[in-house]
Chain A
């Protein structure tokens, strides 16, 4: 599919500058909010108007735009909730001010493509511009789009990102539906609390991508998506995915699993793990970033770090050897047990 050259991540952990496994912290509370950077280089005049999702999306993508190895031919964003908070703020205005005289700022920021368009304005980028909003597969569709684009022009560079914020309205809606825990798990017991619900998270992960191999930090080999509530179908899709995309003689050495501590959803991860050979190590990441529709972008960022030789932090490991150098990572994630994705990511030999 394509190579990843740079990866930037704004998350609830200290990930913006670099990845240091020693700086990762256990989740506290049921909302993991990002640590925002200083947004150097983003004009204050534009920053003041941005909602959080747009801010962190811009904050993650700007460094990529500025330092991409070649001219950027397009910007592809996956976001499910980017704009929702501004939508509800505008709605509040509609309700509060019966005379219909309303400020347009929130409305303008409520369009999901506010992020992508803001970036194109900041960078003067008149290239391809698309925003994918398919909920738990918003980022995966952006990845697929990037695969299509880099296939259509093998010299071109693109910025690819997955972004979502917690936002009070999304949090309330998801809480009412019972997706979150009532209280946070004890330290070290995020995954084995055996209770329904997870914790809310947010983040922005951005990458520069192309078909150019030189100096790449990782390669996305393949992607598959599935809409289903059936663990058996998840397993069936995984089997076919591995058959189609794992060359003979190669094996996965790590499963990056989107397990999120919700006991009701464990069956999907069990189905996936059942399809892998015994020697595969398994690591989990949602205790670092929380649950959100584009959390798989955080997983891809993490995969880039691990495939570039970063050490796997102990608390992430569910089973296996944390010290082995990882060459082929399978990311399996699903959102609310309805939208599933498999992504195969490989190391690039220098």
Chain B
């Protein structure tokens, strides 16, 4: 696996950050002064530093693509994939993103309105540009796909890659997501009044909204058949389910029907009972609507809700990359048998009384569930099992 976020540039750094309760959300960021004071979770490498580190100087490659490449490189190295294996026709690349190249929308808009035909950004504004960039970098010949279902994009990428392997259409799948901070999304979430003016407080009574973040993460999935017994395996994708809340374009139904069906469906697909989930990495954005609906859904599914955390309290909401980051964090929990503290929590939501785990601790974990619920009611639940 590979990951880059506001709490670290590698899996090891992210692990350290989670264990030590690091919060990557800050108010003094590199964004223009108009956004001063808005808490954002930036990756601490500006574009110039990223280009230098990656050796990519082509101006058409946007920040989202650079972050993706950074995490991709770590993942394929960690999985010890040869160049031949990476570019094999039986290796798929499935990625999720919501911003794509629109992180540079301001410059693109300027280029369009001045009819600048030599603009490097003309074909790198869409979501696909990120994974087409990776295709070119590594000359990938297998199935390549880009998914955009808003905040659940990377979760769908993970489940799609799993299904490709299960059906025999791929032997390996590199799956994940990437998104970068952009004035576009900052303004969009602000217009919806769901950005918190303070650091977010997932599942807290006083929560006021979410903080945007950026990052990228990839997992390398391989089928059981023909798996090299000497390779290290972090975990197994045990179950998953995708469903639609079918309620509203930007908020979840009050009783969390979509999240409920997603979690229930994931358990069924894994052949597990509710009691066999030892930890939930919740969607937990810190918005009034999500955290309440998600809490109600967890109560409906589990009755006695297992320990749960929101790592968005460390990394902010990384949109199309969120589920990929959270998959890596779920795997870290499973591998190291520990729960990382959920930050900025003081008081439970009165309606539910649910409290996330706020103190890091070792824990016997067999299964971790990771949930992601996107705009448009797209709800996905993934279950990872200890290997």
| Chain A interface residues toward B at CB < 8 A | 75, 80-81, 84, 87-88, 90-95, 98, 100, 102-104, 107-108, 110-114, 116-118, 120-121, 123-135, 137-138, 141, 144-145, 148, 151-152, 169, 172-173, 176-178, 225-227, 338
The minimal Cβ–Cβ distance linking A11 to chain B, given in whole angstroms, is 22
Instruction: Choose the segment among B21-29, B114-122, B217-225 that binds chain A (4+ C-beta atoms closer than 8 Å).
Output: B114-122
Given contacts A104-B188, A120-B246, contact A176 B116 (CB under 8 A): yes
Within 8 A of A (CB), among B72-125: 98, 102, 105-106, 109, 111-112, 115-117, 119, 122-123, 125
- If A104-B192, A137-B145 are given as contacts, then 14 extra A-B residue pairs at C-beta distance below 8 Å, sorted by A number, are A87-B105, A88-B112, A102-B191, A107-B187, A111-B98, A117-B378, A127-B244, A128-B242, A128-B243, A129-B242, A129-B376, A133-B126, A138-B128, A173-B122
The reply to whether A121 and B126 form a contact with Cβ atoms under 8 Å apart is no
The reply to whether A144 and B156 form a contact with Cβ atoms under 8 Å apart is no
Cα–Cα, bound, A87→B185 (Å): 10
Cα–Cα, bound, A120→B115 (Å): 39
Cβ proximity bits B166-193 to A, threshold 8 Å, 1 near / 0 not = 0101000000000000011001101110
Within 8 A of A (CB), among B23-53: 34
The reply to whether B242 and A227 form a contact with Cβ atoms under 8 Å apart is no
B-chain residues with CB within 8 Å of residue A107 when the two chains form the complex:
187-188, 191-192
Interface CB pairs A-B, < 8 A, 27 = A88-B112, A102-B187, A104-B250, A107-B187, A108-B192, A108-B375, A111-B150, A113-B149, A113-B374, A113-B375, A118-B249, A120-B246, A120-B376, A121-B247, A126-B246, A126-B258, A129-B376, A130-B149, A130-B156, A130-B160, A133-B126, A135-B128, A135-B146, A148-B169, A177-B123, A227-B140, A227-B141
Within 8 A of A (CB), among B210-269: 242-250, 257-258, 261
Contact of B375 among A88, A94, A111, A127 (CB under 8 A): A111
The minimal Cβ–Cβ distance linking B4 to chain A, given in whole angstroms, is 22
A-chain residues with CB within 8 Å of residue B274 when the two chains form the complex:
none
B-chain residues with CB within 8 Å of residue A88 when the two chains form the complex:
109, 112
The reply to whether B188 and A131 form a contact with Cβ atoms under 8 Å apart is no
A-chain residues with CB within 8 Å of residue B105 when the two chains form the complex:
87, 91
Contact of B117 among A91, A94, A137, A176 (CB under 8 A): A176
Cα–Cα, bound, A108→B131 (Å): 24
- The answer to whether the Cβ of B164 comes within 8 Å of any Cβ in the partner chain is yes
The reply to whether A125 and B112 form a contact with Cβ atoms under 8 Å apart is no
A-chain residues with CB within 8 Å of residue B160 when the two chains form the complex:
130, 145
The reply to whether B115 and A176 form a contact with Cβ atoms under 8 Å apart is yes
The reply to whether B112 and A113 form a contact with Cβ atoms under 8 Å apart is no
By the criterion of a CB under 8 Å from any partner CB, how many residues of chain B are at the interface? Answer: 62
Contact of B149 among A94, A131, A134, A135 (CB under 8 A): A131
B-chain residues with CB within 8 Å of residue A148 when the two chains form the complex:
163-164, 167, 169
Contact of A132 among B147, B247, B375 (CB under 8 A): B147
B-chain residues with CB within 8 Å of residue A152 when the two chains form the complex:
163
Cα–Cα, bound, A225→B246 (Å): 32
- The answer to whether the Cβ of B272 comes within 8 Å of any Cβ in the partner chain is no
A-chain residues with CB within 8 Å of residue B324 when the two chains form the complex:
none
The reply to whether A177 and B117 form a contact with Cβ atoms under 8 Å apart is yes
Q: Which 10 A-B pairs have the closest CB atoms?
A: A117-B376, A107-B188, A104-B191, A135-B128, A120-B244, A112-B148, A129-B244, A134-B146, A102-B191, A120-B246
Contact of B34 among A90, A100, A178 (CB under 8 A): A100
B-chain residues with CB within 8 Å of residue A111 when the two chains form the complex:
98, 148, 150, 375-376
The reply to whether A100 and B156 form a contact with Cβ atoms under 8 Å apart is no
